[in-house]
Amino acid sequence: MSTRDCALCRRVAETGDQWIADFAMTRAYLHEDQFFPGYCLLILKRHATELFHLDPDERAAMIEEVSRLARALDTVFRPVKVNYELLGNQIPHIHWHVIPRLADDPLPRWPVWRVDHEPLHLPTEGCRERVAAIRAAL
């Protein structure tokens, strides 16, 4: 897949209301579905599909950024557990789903993918407040 054809290459070239922060390797965004409060995406700036396609230095830098975002989500949302998922089944461009699982989670023992739900889109002001809270905790 070329950069021009990749939806996440296009996404990561932009900021927008959901943009939280830039790191050396990645950009952090609030997921547009906030059914799970604090659900974020961390998207690799360059196009790559698998962990083993990165250099060791890139892997180390990237996992530091995943960890830093997760720590901020822990500070803001006080989850029971954080879930970290690098999948890419739909869009094979490295991106991490970083999901705080809160005490009132509807299915706390299972991954979020088992929870059928309507996407919860925050109004603009609510999105900005959540982004600002996470950014302040980074």
Interface residue list for its own copies (CB under 8 A): 49-52, 54, 56, 59-60, 62-64, 66-68, 70-71, 74, 81-90, 92, 101, 108-111, 113-114
CB of 124 to its own copies, least distance (A): 30
CB of 60 to its own copies, least distance (A): 4
Nearer to its own copies (CB atom), residue 30 or residue 54: 54
CB of 51 to its own copies, least distance (A): 4
Long-range CB contacts for residues 14-23, cutoff 8 Å, separation at least 24 = 17/124, 17/127, 17/128, 17/131, 18/127, 18/131, 19/131, 20/69, 20/131, 20/134, 20/135, 20/138, 21/135, 21/138, 23/65, 23/68
